[in-house]
Amino acid sequence: MSDLTIRKIPFSFDGVSFLWNPENPGFSLMMNQISFLVIGLEKYFCRATAEAEKNITDPWVLDEAQHFRAQEQVHSQAHRKHCKALIAQYPGLGDTLRECTRLYDELYDHEELKFHLAYQGGLEAAFTPFFRMILDNRDVLFGAGDARVASLMLWHFCEEIEHRSSALAIYNHAVGSSFYRIRMTPKFYRHAGRVFAFLAAEFRKHVTDAPAIMFEQPPFAAICGKDKRAAVLGVLRSQLPGHDPAHERIPEYFAEWNRHYDAGEDVTQIYGRRVMVA
């Protein structure tokens, strides 16, 4: 059976600031982009996985696919709460969220299943080295920020590391061609890049009180060059034939976060500056 755990955490974001970490404006922007992107992306992944499940013959892969899909659905629900709180303050972002989701619906309608699974498998494989960099540098990225947003992201990134092998296992079972996946890599990275650029433009338009530095500061300006280079190399390596995310080095915080959760602690504000919530 799958080792994945479905965790439904009662996050709340009422009144959360768009600039939720004033000490890291560029990173704050990027995490807001992720919250909006995740809703369409996770729906896209769930649709592809559900379609692939119809033809999965390996019981372990099928069980892993079902648990992977369940985790992704929970991620989308949690990020929707964050987006809803921002939309309450900036109503124009409601159209932004709908358009962002439509971009993934459109992609699903125009490409075949093996492309969707390649997009999912390739992107998910890259997440472990990328999120490892973030988790290893959590203090400078999240420490001074609103604990509600910081804790949402840390939970999500830890679960991405937990199911790091799932999407590639589904792809390898359903499609199996490393050549096709590698050939499609530039295409799905370009698509993700376009969505990020669209969100940045929409935020500029609708969040009129956002400081200019949010759009000018590199999101990882506070991280040392060595860690950034290691993340880039890890992402490149993750796309190679024969790569197995199961063998990736796991950040220490992954085990730490799980210990807090398993102990029954409140993980809705586990990191950053706690906010009094009515």
Q: What are the structural domains, with CATH classification, of the chain?
A: 25-262 (1.10.620)
Residue 2 has pLDDT above 80, yes or no: no
Distance in angstroms (rounded) separating the CA atoms of residues 161 and 128 = 5
Q: Report d(CA 251, CA 161) in Å as an integer.
A: 9
Tell me the torsion sign for CA atoms 82, 138, 232, 19: positive
Distances 261 to 42, 74, 117, 252, 265 between C-alpha atoms, Å? 23, 16, 31, 15, 6
Above 70 in pLDDT, residue 113? yes
CA–CA separation, 236 and 109 (whole Å): 28
Of residues 171, 149, 167, 212, the one with CA closest to residue 71 = 167
Distance of CA 30 to the CA centre of its chain: 11
Separation CA 57–CA 62 (nearest Å)? 7
Q: What is the C-alpha radius of gyration for the chain, rounded to an integer number of angstroms?
A: 18
Q: What are the pLDDT digits (tens) for 178-230?
A: 999 999 999 999 999 999 999 999 999 999 999 999 999 999 999 999 999 99
Q: Could you tell me what percent of the chain has a pLDDT over 90?
A: 97
Indicate if the pLDDT at residue 278 is higher than 70. Answer: no
The tokens of 93 are what?
A: 């972002």
Tokens 């955490």 -> residue: 9
Tell me the C-alpha to C-alpha distance, in Å, between residue 21 and each of 24, 38, 192, 205, 211. Answer: 6, 20, 24, 20, 12
170-187 CB burial, b ≥16 within 10 A, e <16: bbbbbbeebeebeebbee
Percentage above 70 pLDDT, the chain: 99
Report the pLDDT averaged over residues 91-95.
98
- Do 181 and 171 contact (CB within 8 A), yes or no? yes
Please spell the DSSP secondary structure of 169-236, one letter per residue. Answer: HHHHHHT--HHHHHHHHHHHHHHHHHHHHHHHHHHHHH-TTS-THHHHS-TTTTS-HHHHHHHHHHHH
Q: Tell which phi-psi region holds residue 217, choosing left (phi > 0), alpha (psi between -120 and 50) or beta.
A: beta
11-54 confidence digits (pLDDT tens): 999 999 999 999 999 999 999 999 999 999 999 999 999 999 99
Please name which of 208, 149, 191, 235 lies closest in space to residue 40, comparing C-alpha atoms. 191
* 139 pLDDT tier (thresholds 50, 70, 90): very high
Return d(Cα 111, Cα 191) in angstroms, integer.
Answer: 12
